[in-house]
Amino acid sequence: MIEDKNQNRTSLNEIGEFKLIELLTRNFKIKHKSTIKGIGDDAAVIDPDQKQIVITTDLLVEGVHFDLSYVPLKHLGYKSVIVNLSDVYAMNAEATQITISIAVSNRFPLEALEELYAGVETAAKIYNVDVVGGDTTSSNSGLLISITAIGVINKGEEIYRNGAKPNDLLVVTGDLGGAYMGLQILEREKEVFKVNPNNQPDLDGYTYIIERQLKPEARKDIIKLLKDLGVKPTAMIDISDGLSSEILHLCMHSKVGCDIYENKIPLDPQVISTCEEFKIDSTTIALNGGEDYELLMTISQEDFPKIKANPNLTIIGHITEENAGANLITRAETKIPLQAQGWKNFNNSN
Domain that includes residue 198, residue range: 169-349
E strand map for the chain: 35-37, 45-46, 52-61, 94-104, 130-138, 144-153, 169-173, 235-239, 257-261, 294-299, 313-320, 326-329, 335-337
Q: For the domain that residue 118 is a member of, what is the CATH number? A: 3.30.1330.10
In a domain, 159, yes or no: no
* Distant-in-sequence, close-in-space partners of 284: CB < 8 Å, separation ≥ 6: none
Q: What pLDDT does residue 29 have?
A: 77
Task: For residues 284 and 250, state if they share a domain.
Answer: yes
Confidence tier at 7 by pLDDT (50, 70, 90): low
Number of domains into which the chain is organized: 2
193 and 122 fall within a common domain: no
Give the residue among 208, 311, 329 at the shortest CA–CA distance from 257.
Answer: 329
Q: Is residue 8 part of a domain?
A: yes
Same domain, 24 and 108: yes
pTM of the model: 0.89
Q: Please indicate, yes or no, whether residues 278 and 240 belong to a single structural domain of this protein.
A: yes
- Looking at the fold, whether 229 and 331 belong to one and the same domain comes out as yes
pLDDT reported for residue 266? 98
Of 16-25, 124-133, 223-232, the range with the lowest mean pLDDT is 16-25
- CATH number of residue 270's parent domain: 3.90.650.10
| Tens digits of residue pLDDT in 119-159 | 999 999 999 999 998 888 889 888 999 999 999 999 999 99
Q: Are residues 293 and 149 in the same domain?
A: no
Reported as a pLDDT band with limits 50, 70 and 90, residue 16 is low
20 in any annotated domain: yes
- Give 39-71 pLDDT, tens digit per residue: 777 787 888 888 999 999 999 999 999 999 999
Question: DSSP of 316-340, one letter per residue?
Answer: EEEEE-GGG-EEEE-TT--EEE---
Residue 163 maps to a domain: no
Residue 285 maps to a domain:
yes
Average pLDDT rounded to a whole number, residues 181-189: 95
